[in-house]
Amino acid sequence: MCIRDSSSNNDDNLSIPSLDILNQYSPPMGRDDLRTAIAAHYQRLYHYEPDPDHITVTLGATEALACALRSLGSPGDKVVIFEPFHELYPSQCHLFYLEPTYVTLRPSTTSDQTTWTFDVQELEVALQDAKVLVLNTPHNPTGKIFTRSELQSIVDLCLQYQVYIVTDEIYEFMTYSRDNHHLLLPRDFPEIADQCLVCNSIGKSASATGWRLGWCLHPPRVTDAYRGIHDQIAVMSPHPVQYAALTYLDLPDAYFREDLKSKYKDRIDQLATCLRELGFGVLPPEGAYYLFVRYKGVPALQHLEAPVDAAMHLLKEVGVACVPGDNFYGKAVETEGQQYLRFAACRSQKDITEACVRLKRHLQK
């Protein structure tokens, strides 16, 4: 990523502000031009244009979600989370004295495919006395993309029980099925727009996790509380990064619609094929760039009961790092959580190839 060049003769380019300005505070909610660019980004790619006055620029999606939970919840309030989950969700709940409650995703086979699904009745029971539902799609660690039908069920139940939805959408452009793309809740389900906060960042799509540049789209009735909490937690995202992010938001449509998909699909397929050949139980991801796989079908790992032991064996003896599956579970940590390891295919093609070589060298019969 690069900052716009002020020497260009293109009148559309922005001139670089003086260095002194970029070294100073920006408005706490983010630069005006950046919030306007974020709104235009959604208009261009989703035909949905949020009001820049109800967008707050944050320290990545992590802070965006933390401010959402703190804005909506009070100590003792219940937050519903699909498990397996990103580890930060329950940690943030505990930080704010909120009570995480889990609804378990499980592999389910239909006539033509196997995918991760949830029990609608289990979700309804969890939502009956909840304040917030956290929804991550495309999903880390499974790669699941919630379907329109599933999202409609979630929306209907959240409306029925007056539960806010906080989304984590950092993998939105990493989708690999023509029939199952990412849906933006306030656009595709406008009935929930007043109860939905959308959290996002450039971290994954720009391969810029260290930049700490994210945002939240929040309904008007939440704006004052959200910005007040953000101001106390972080003050602002780094000003130079805010300016540089304008270039990212101005990338061609093809970067978001095509390039990010093709960038990771071959790597995922290569790693999935390797793991499957070695005996791992692999369910191909629909989105994101993770493989959440069963490991006890691998002869060299069968004797390792705890996933942390399997992960450490792979790290020390094979030289390939992964994450133990129980790290992603709460309620089902002693059952489903003991079966899985998570591999990431976000490294370079060279690194993926080398990982496959090492895995085959050490784990093949």
Give every CB contact of residue 271 below 8 A, 6+ residues apart in sequence.
291, 343, 345, 352, 355, 356
**Cα–Cα distance measured from residue 105 to residue 139, given in angstroms and rounded to the nearest whole number:** 11
Query: Given this model, what pLDDT does residue 20 score?
Result: 81
DSSP class of residue 287 equals B
Structure-block tokens of residue 297? 């079908």
DSSP class of residue 25 equals P
* CA-based radius of gyration for the chain: 21
**Cα–Cα distance measured from residue 294 to residue 203, given in angstroms and rounded to the nearest whole number:** 28
Question: How do beta strands 114-117 and 106-109 pair?
Answer: antiparallel
CA 34 to chain centre: 21
- Using alpha carbons only, what angle is made at residue 282 by residues 182 and 86, rounded to the nearest 5 degrees? 50
pLDDT band for 131, please (50, 70, 90 cuts). Answer: very high
Query: Given this model, what pLDDT does residue 364 score?
Result: 87
Domains of the chain: 19-251 (3.40.640.10), 260-363 (3.90.1150.10)
Q: Which amino acid is at 294?
A: R
**Cα–Cα distance measured from residue 176 to residue 256, given in angstroms and rounded to the nearest whole number:** 13
Query: Given this model, what pLDDT does residue 111 score?
Result: 60
CB 301: neighbour CB atoms within 10 A? 20
Three-class SS state of 239? helix
- Straight-line distance from the first to the last Cα atom of the chain, in angstroms, rounded to the nearest whole number: 44
Query: Given this model, what pLDDT does residue 207 score?
Result: 87
Provide the H-helix boundaries in the chain.
Answer: 19-22, 32-46, 60-72, 88-95, 120-127, 148-160, 185-188, 220-233, 239-249, 253-254, 260-277, 307-313, 349-363
Three-class SS state of 202? coil
Query: Given this model, what pLDDT does residue 15 score?
Result: 61
Mean pLDDT over the full length of the chain: 93
pLDDT band for 121, please (50, 70, 90 cuts). Answer: very high
pLDDT above 50: residue 4: no
pLDDT above 90: residue 19: no
What is the DSSP secondary-structure string of 57-82? EESHHHHHHHHHHHHH--TT-EEEEE
**Cα–Cα distance measured from residue 340 to residue 283, given in angstroms and rounded to the nearest whole number:** 11
**Cα–Cα distance measured from residue 254 to residue 294, given in angstroms and rounded to the nearest whole number:** 35
**Omega before 138 cis (within 30°)?**
yes
Percent of the chain with pLDDT over 90: 86
pLDDT above 60: residue 105: yes
pLDDT above 50: residue 244: yes
pLDDT above 50: residue 2: no
More confident residue, 106 or 9: 106
CA nearest to 106, candidates 345, 362, 337: 337
Query: Given this model, what pLDDT does residue 7 score?
Result: 38
Query: Given this model, what pLDDT does residue 251 score?
Result: 95
Q: At what angle do helices 349-363 and 260-277 cross, to 10 degrees?
A: 10
Convert the pLDDT of each residue in 246-281 to its tens digit: 999 999 999 999 998 888 999 999 999 999 999 999
Convert the pLDDT of each residue in 66-84 to its tens digit: 999 999 999 999 999 999 9
pLDDT band for 8, please (50, 70, 90 cuts). Answer: very low
Convert the pLDDT of each residue in 334-352 to its tens digit: 999 999 999 999 999 999 9
Query: Given this model, what pLDDT does residue 177 score?
Result: 81
Query: Given this model, what pLDDT does residue 3 score?
Result: 43
pTM beyond 0.85, yes or no: yes
Q: Which helix (H) or strand (E) element contains residue 217?
A: strand 214-217
More confident residue, 361 or 177: 361
